[in-house]
Every structure is written in structure tokens, then in C-alpha cells.
Amino acid sequence: MALTPQSNEAFFREVDDEVRRERVEKAARRYGVIVGVIVLLALVAFGGTLWWRSHQQDVAGEKGEKIVQAMSSLTAGNEADARKQLQALADEGSKGYAPLSRMLLADMLVRDEKLPEASAAFAKIAADSSVPQQLRDVAVLRGTTLDFDKLPPAEVINRLKPLAVPGNPWFGSAGEMTGVAYMKLNQPKQAGALFAAIAKDKSVPRSLRARVSQLAADLGVDAVQPTDSADS
């Protein structure tokens, strides 16, 4: 189903509003969820290395306690104390809990609506080869989300290319932004195919699948509507 120029323009505005509303303006309100995801990734990335190497056990335990204390301060609303604790860990270098602390500090900038500073912080993490790939991927996604409205569509596609593939944990979010970028480049075939693939992937949250199913339908591409009641 081809879109007329007028309806196409309205459609882009609608998509842009949705992306902005759900991904930028609500970023701070999703802060707690993001922290939980980052902590989980950090535990997977760092846990075994830091905890089970005998010559690092004491150090890892001490720093692990510091990150727990910082998280407790965040939960209690004592952000100044949490920021101080996280900055101390971040300043210790590129190993251990430092990358995680940098991620949390960047997210605190998002919460404070200091979006340019947050974007720059995520960009530094994403470009740091000493940071575990799992955290670098999160940084790429978060930074692209913040910069989405001002980035050229081709750059969005290039940034998210490694993430916007089936099987990647961030396929849904990265794929949605990539699909919208394809639409902005007037490449509806690529956008529709990507939206349909996301809609059929049951590892993607149901709400996101429903949204991209509608986008695919608007582009004339059949997509499976999510009917299962329990998605990850």
C-alpha cells in the first residue's frame, strides 16, 4: 500500500512523535528499568572475572560493596551521595566496576535532563574498547535514542546495524529506530521487512511488537500480530 505524499508526511510526523515521546521524554521515568538492565548485564560481564579470581577476591568484594551502596543511595533518593560514590569507582580506570559506574552516571544525566552531556558520556563508553561489549552495546543504543531526532538517518542505520538483527538482545529497540530511519530515507521496503521481522520475534516485548506491526501494515507489509500473553 503506497502512501501519498501528504499522508506520508503525516505518517512521519506521527512516528517521530511516538519515538520522541516514548524514547526521549520518558527516558527518565524508565530510569529504574534501565539501571536494572545495566546491573544485570554488568553482573554477567564482570561477575565471574571479578569474583572468582583468587588474587582479586578482596578487591572485588570491596568494590562490589561500593556499587551496592551507590545503588542503595539512588533508591533512597540521595543522588548526590550516589553520584560521589559512582564517580569514585569510575575514576579508578577501565577495569572492574568502573564501566558500570560510568553507565549509571550517564543515566543520571538523562534523569537530570542534561541530554547533550549524557549523549557524550554514552558515546565515550561506546568507543572505549576496554569496556565489555555488552555495556558498549547498551551505550550505543542509549546514545542513539537520545540523538535520534538530530542524527542523519544513514548514521542511525550504521550505528545500530550490529544490534538490529534477530537474536540480538536489543533487536526490537534497535530495529524499530532503524526501520524509521529507512522510512526517512524513502526506503519503505527495507523498513517494512524489518518491522515485520520484529513483530514475529517473540523475544521482543509485546507492546513494541504491536507498534511495529501497525507500522508494517501502514507500509503494506503483512506482519503477525502478537497474540501470546507472556513475552520476555
Length in residues, the chain: 232
Please determine, for residue 58, whether its predicted confidence score (pLDDT) is greater than 50.
Answer: no
Q: Is the domain of 131 the same as that of 187?
A: no
Please determine, for residue 45, whether its predicted confidence score (pLDDT) is greater than 60.
Answer: no
- Residue-wise pLDDT for 103-162, tens only, equals 889 988 998 899 999 999 999 999 999 888 989 999 999 999 999 999 999 999 999 999
What total number of domains does the chain contain? 2
Look up the CATH number of the domain holding residue 136. 1.25.40
- The model's confidence at residue 67, banded by pLDDT at 50, 70 and 90, is confident
| CA 174/CA 156 separation, integer angstroms | 9
| CA 125/CA 137 separation, integer angstroms | 9
Q: Is the domain of 171 the same as that of 91?
A: no
Owning domain of residue 201: 152-218
Cα-Cα-Cα-Cα dihedral of 72, 75, 79, 80, to 10°?
Answer: -30
Show contacts of 156-159: CB within 8 Å, 24+ apart.
156/181, 157/181, 157/182, 157/185
Check residue 90 and give its pLDDT: 86
Q: What is the DSSP code (8-state) at residue 54?
A: G
